Amino acid sequence: MDYTAMVDVFREARVADGTGWEMTAKSVDADVRAFGSVPERTMLIAEIDGQVIGWARAYDFGFATDDGRMLNHSGHVLPAWRRRGIGRALLGGVQAELAHVRSSRSDPSGSSAGFHTWIFASNQSARTMLEADGYRPLRYVVEMTRSLADLPAIELPDGLSTRPVGALDRAPVLRALNDAMQDHHGWPEMSDDQMALMFDHPVRGQFDVWQVAWCGDRVVGGVLGYVDADENLAMDRRRGYTEGIFTVRDWRGRGVASALITQNLRLLRDRGMTEAALSVDTENPTGALVLYERHGFREVDRVIVYRRELEPAP
């Protein structure tokens, strides 16, 4: 599979659509491995005279208590080749593969399922195509940034500490993250191995950027930040990410997340970054959007999570 050609298509589409993130061949490969996908079945390529002009990717994101089976897909078409039916053909192809995937799952009788895709709100052409095919907005995700000037100092609650995160810490950190996210929208049931694959990634797996709060040997919260050097080069900026923010249930409301966020921001600044970014579900049940606004983050873009509802499991 020619991931480099796929990335070239993505980059041209990104410029046309005004999206603010980057993709590399390494990150595509890592994402494919994370979801156990078989590229020959789950990736569709559109070519003209040997040139890749579009692609689409399908993956089973798992089963969540609120959304049921989440059958995700993404894709891009070169701007010069749009409005010729290529996007619709790719969409139909990934839907067929996802329907096949769903038929192999043993979901509870009567449970829901849907095709899911994330689209920047400014991408009107993709929104029009999806809505014509029966997709509807399910929820909204806000992209936020803040300057790394004038950072506050917030201490962890008494009894908690941080330390450098090593390879042996990965499993307990990811286990705590997985547990803390179970009451969030659209979070699937994931095994330890699946969580490890999610973070065996050239960007998401930067242990040296992670900030983790410990109560003795127990993980009680974390900010699993990172710096995407390729993205910064492509976008001509110095941005770090304040992502993977979580607090275990019995420690919520005590300032753990606030302290870890400020530690993350200071680390990013020390590494030469000038801004931090994160994304958050506008309906986050823990009130995260308000917390991030209190820490100086402001909305710069919005993503729509689209869903096309499928028949319940038999």
Q: What is the pLDDT of residues 130-175, one digit of tens each?
A: 999 999 999 999 999 999 999 999 999 999 999 999 989 999 999 9
The string of pLDDT tens digits covering residues 229-273 is 999 998 899 999 999 999 999 999 999 999 999 999 999 999 999
Rounded to an integer, the average pLDDT of 107-120 is 97
Q: Indicate whether 71 pLDDT > 80.
A: yes
Q: Please report the pLDDT score of residue 17 as a whole number.
A: 85
The whole-number average pLDDT for the span 171-195 is 93
The mean pLDDT value of the chain amounts to 94
The correct CATH number of 153-294 out of 3.40.630.30, 1.10.260.40, 1.10.10.410, 3.30.420.40 is: 3.40.630.30
pLDDT of 30 strictly over 90: no
Beta partners for residue 246, in sequence order: 222
User: Is 153-294 the same fold as 3-140+305-309?
Assistant: yes
The 10s digit of each residue's pLDDT in 276-292 is 999 999 999 889 999 99
pLDDT of the residue at 34: 77
Amino acid letter at 15? V
> Does residue 188 register a pLDDT over 90?
yes
- The CA distance from 102 to 114, in Å, is 10
pLDDT tens-digit series, residues 6-25: 999 999 998 888 776 888 89
Please answer whether residues 251 and 232 qualify as being in contact, where contact means their C-beta atoms are separated by less than 8 angstroms: no
Average pLDDT over residues 183-206: 90
75, pLDDT greater than 90: yes
Regarding predicted confidence, which is higher, 30 or 249? 249
Kindly state the average pLDDT of the residues 106-112: 95
Q: Which CATH number fits domain 3-140+305-309: 3.40.50.300, 3.40.50.2000, 3.40.50.800, 3.40.630.30?
A: 3.40.630.30
For the chain, what are the domain ranges? Answer: 3-140+305-309, 153-294
Q: How far apart are CA 188 and CA 216, in angstroms?
A: 29
3-class SS letters over the chain: CCHHHHHHHHHHHHHHHCCCCCCCHHHHHHHHHHCCCCHHHHEEEEEECCEEEEEEEEEEEEEECCCEEEEEEEEEECHHHCCCCHHHHHHHHHHHHHHHHHHCCCCCCCCCEEEEEEEECCCHHHHHHHHHCCCEEEEEEEEEEEECCCCCCCCCCCCCECCCCCHHHHHHHHHHHHHHHHHCCCCCCCCHHHHHHHHCCCCCCCHHHCEEEEECCEEEEEECCECCHHHHHHHCCCEEECCCEEECHHHCCCCHHHHHHHHHHHHHHHCCCCEEEEEEECCCCCCHHHHHHHCCCEEEEEEEEEEEECCCCC
CA angle 245, 225, 4 (to 5 degrees): 120
pLDDT the model gives residue 18: 78
